[in-house]
Structure 1
């Protein structure tokens, strides 16, 4: 049976640390604590007074002052790991935590999970080949020496960096290691921890290298684990659920996130709001509970992206000169069919291709798999199609040797509709309004990753109104755009009513328009 030694680095909120330690050690696990030497001494005294009697808690003997991005964070971690390895000889796993982390599964579930998955859990991706670093310095973190903290001494930090660049003082990475990068929230087996501690004593050159690298807590353990452990025994992910905003800040969880957190495929979550007292209380009681069946749906990140995208309508970069200055052609007619239910629009345009001679193309700006001719590579990805949309459309007109073209679009592509309507060509838009049942919306949520097969009915119940409102909002934005030559057909209208609008939109006879309106199973899901 797994026994976990939690490695806790902290610097504030002594009451929360005491509570966290008592909750995690109550079921037999243990904890090694490093409390920042630069933090309030009274807070440290309070923690010691509350936890010194707990045999499952140990403290680092020599505390150090820690700074963000510095080697001191790795040094403090190593001190806590050494204390845990020495004081808890029966610990089988070592799990890195912060004071903002809390368990989102029971100890029973956590121990069984680690017993069934005999491997080290640590994000570790190639430092140079991966895109883990999104912004800021990359190779400069390693090939130059960093003696100052960028946050506390910004001028000195960058002056030292520029001086080394001017003097050509690049340094080599130790030849036998391949630097990795990833999250600092790992869970490692005891054998791996012992190998790492032995390595730190034997390889002073590697220790010197990382001691003057920048943000080594994202590279040190990640690199050593890859160096010492077989790849087949490493799972390159963290067991701690965390998300970041568009601004690179950690997402904070609050009282109403309890059900969401429990449904994620992780053991812990970071970071819990200091003010989320009810959430902390519920999660604290959860760890000691037994016989709980967790419904893992793992939709947290997709839900966060979906919800944070709301309210950003109309925000975009300026148009590119080739978009505004080029034209599809004054005599050409572009017919845009807009429908949220893609299968409905596809059935209609398939019927159009059979009843008329107008070329049709399905969701070319929404589906990679849309069948397109070879247009020299411009059609190869959704990004290229959207970026060079007018050029793409012009080439499609030429390929089909036609002055008419029907394309399908998702209602979310309002920017594209505005762009095409601003062209000198004759652009028309057909909006198909469908009915959306709760069952359909539930299936839609699963198809797009907002929910999983095991998402609870309660979670879906809270999610469905948001999805329904989002669909309604997209339809309203199109109507509010005031496009000329804008036609609408509705699932609730009769074939006769819809055929009149289809006749005007496609410019076909009444008989052909009625054939289109009576397309078999047009609105069926």
Structure 2
């Protein structure tokens, strides 16, 4: 059975460290602690005193001062690992933690998970080929030597960098290693940890290289594991659930995140707010519990992206500036059908095709598989279609040899609507407003990845008002845009009320429009 030795790096809150150690070791697991030498010695003494009678806790034999981005973080980790390897011969796995991490599964679940999955869990991506580093330095982290801490000795840090760059003092990466990068929160098997320790003693050249790299805690273990362990024994992911805001800051979890955290496919979560005392208490009790059934839905990151995005002006980042394309043609007429329920708009178009000899194209800006003619590659991807929207529409007009064209759009495509209405061509818009049941909104949440098959019903019910408000907001934005030649029909209105609007939109007699709106099952889900 798996037994975990937790490697804990911490620098504050001694009472929380003691509590965390007692919780995790109570289930039979182990912990090795490195407490930052920069912190108050009395805090360290309190931790040692409180845990002195716990045989499942050990301490790094040497304490060092740690700084963000420095080799010291890796060295502190190695000191704690060495102590754990020596002190806990029965430990089968070594799990990297911080003081802000807490278990979101039971020990029983964690042990079973590791028993059933004989592999190392460490996020590791090719340093140069991946896009893991979004902004800032990339190769500069490796090919120049970094002696100083960028946060505490900024002038010296950048002076040494610019001096090396000016003098061309680049260095080579050890020829036989492929540098990898990823999160520092890993879980490694004992044989992997022992192989790493053997490597650190045998390859002084690699150790010298990493000691002078910048932010080595994102590259050292990630590189060595890939160098020493077969690829099919590595899962390139972390077992610690963490998220970052679009400002690059870690997302903090609070008391009301309990259900969300338990439904994620991870063993731990980071970071838990110090003020979230209720959450910490509940998670602490959870780790020692038995026979808990977890419903894994794993929608945490998509939910966070969705919910945080709602608060921005315009419900998203500022509208993009797309390259100006020439006009579709003053004599041409583009008719846009907007509907959130795509199947309803497609049925509407099918009825239109029976009465009107006009090319009608379904959600070409929303569905990759929309049936389009070969237009030289511009139609190949959604990204190309959207970026070259006017060129695409001109080519469709020309391909079908027509001056009238009907297309479908999602109600979220407001920027596209603005662009087409600003053109010299005649643009008309028909919004088909539908009613949304709770079951439909739940299905919508599943389709767009906001929820999974196992998302608990209470979580879905809390999410439904936000989704409903979001759809309402999209419809309001369309109406507030003040588009000319705008028409709106509603599912709840009788066909006789909707028909004149459809007739005006399509420029057809009202009896034909009535036939379209009376089609059976037009609004059925």
TM-score (norm 1): 0.98
Match of 2:387? 387
Q: How does 1:96-495 map to 2 (within 5 A)?
A: 96-314=96-314, 315-317=317-319, 319-323=321-325, 326-495=326-495
Which has the higher mean CA deviation after the structures are superposed, 100-109 or 340-349?
340-349
SS of alignment partner, residue 384 of structure 2: helix
* TM-superposed deviation, 1:53: 1.6
2: CA distance, partners of 1:317 / 1:508: 35
In the alignment, the residues of structure 2 paired with residue 366 and residue 316 of structure 1 have an alpha-carbon distance, to the nearest angstrom, of 20
Shift of 1:321: 5.0
Partners in 1 of 2:177 and 2:127 — Cα distance? Answer: 11
Larger CA deviation: 509-518 vs 465-474: 509-518
CA distance in 2, matches of 1:452, 1:321: 38
For structure 1, which segment, 358-367 or 293-302, has the greater mean C-alpha deviation from structure 2 after superposition? Answer: 358-367
The one-character-per-residue Cα deviations of 1:19-51 (angstroms, maximum 9, x if unpaired) are: 111110111101000011111222212211211
Alignment correspondent of 1:54 = 54
Q: CA deviation at 1:377?
A: 2.4
Query: Cα gap change, 1:215/1:374 in structure 2, threshold over 3 Å: closer, same or farther?
Result: same
Once the 2 structures are TM-superposed, how far is the Cα of residue 277 of structure 1 from its aligned partner? 0.5
Match of 2:81 in 1: 81
Structure 2 CA distance for aligned equivalents of residues 125 and 244 of structure 1: 18
Residues 365-374 or 438-447, more deviating = 365-374
Equivalent position SS for 2:295 = coil
Provide the secondary structure at the position in 2 that maps to 1:487: strand
472-481 or 282-291, which moves further after superposition?
472-481
Output the CA distance in 2 between the equivalents of 1:149 and 1:247.
Answer: 22
1:495 Cα deviation (Å)?
Answer: 1.6
The alignment covers a number of residue pairs equal to 523
Question: Which range is displaced more, 262-271 or 482-491?
Answer: 482-491
More off after superposition, 312-321 vs 381-390: 312-321
Instruction: Report Cα offsets for 1:150-199 as digits up to 9, x if no partner.
Output: 22222222222222222221111111111111111000000100000000
The residue matched to 2:244 in structure 1 has which SS? coil
Output one character per residue of 1:81-109: Cα deviation in whole Å (capped at 9) or x when no partner: 00000011100000000000000000000
TM-score, scaled relative to structure 2: 0.98
Structure 2 Cα separation of the partners of residues 428 and 139 of structure 1: 52
Query: How far, CA to CA, are the matches of 2:313 and 2:428 in structure 1?
Result: 22
* Structure 1 Cα separation of the partners of residues 503 and 29 of structure 2: 73
The match for 2:523 is: 523
My pick for the range that moved more, 11-20 or 74-83, is 11-20
Tell me if structure 1 keeps the 8 A contact 2:319–2:415. Answer: no
> SS of 2:8's equivalent?
strand
Cα distance in 2 for partners of 1:200, 1:298 equals 37
1:88-134 per-position Cα deviation (integer Å, ceiling 9, x unaligned): 11000000000000000000000000000011000111111111111
Alignment partners' CA distance in 2, 1:128 and 1:318: 29
SS in 1 for 2:324: helix
Q: CA deviation at 1:353?
A: 2.4
Name the SS of the counterpart of 1:408 in structure 2: strand
Partner-residue secondary structure (3-state), 1:285: helix
Deviations 1:189-229 (A, max 9, x none): 00100000000000001001111011111111011111111
| Alpha-carbon distance between aligned partners in 2 of 1:164 and 1:32, rounded to the nearest angstrom | 39
1:392, distance to aligned residue in structure 2 (A): 1.7
C-alpha distance in 2, partners of 1:213/1:470? Answer: 46
SS at match of 1:322: coil
- Give the Cα separation in 2 of the matches to 1:394 and 1:313: 32
Stretch of structure 1 that moved more, 348-357 or 335-344: 348-357
- SS of 1:407 mapped into structure 2: strand
Report the Cα distance in structure 2 between the residues aligned to 1:263 and 1:106, rounded to whole angstroms. 13
Query: Does the Cα contact within 8 Å between 2:239 and 2:268 map onto a contact in 1?
Result: yes
Residues 498-517 of structure 1 correspond to what in structure 2 (within 5 A)? 498-517=498-517
TM-superposed CA distance for 1:317, in Å, is 4.4
Provide the rounded CA distance (Å) in 2 between the counterparts of 1:165 and 1:299: 45
Partner of 2:25: 25
Q: Provide runs of 4+ in structure 1 moved above 3 Å.
A: none
Deviations for 1:242-290, whole angstroms, at most 9, x for unmatched residues? 0111011111000000000000000000000111000000000000000
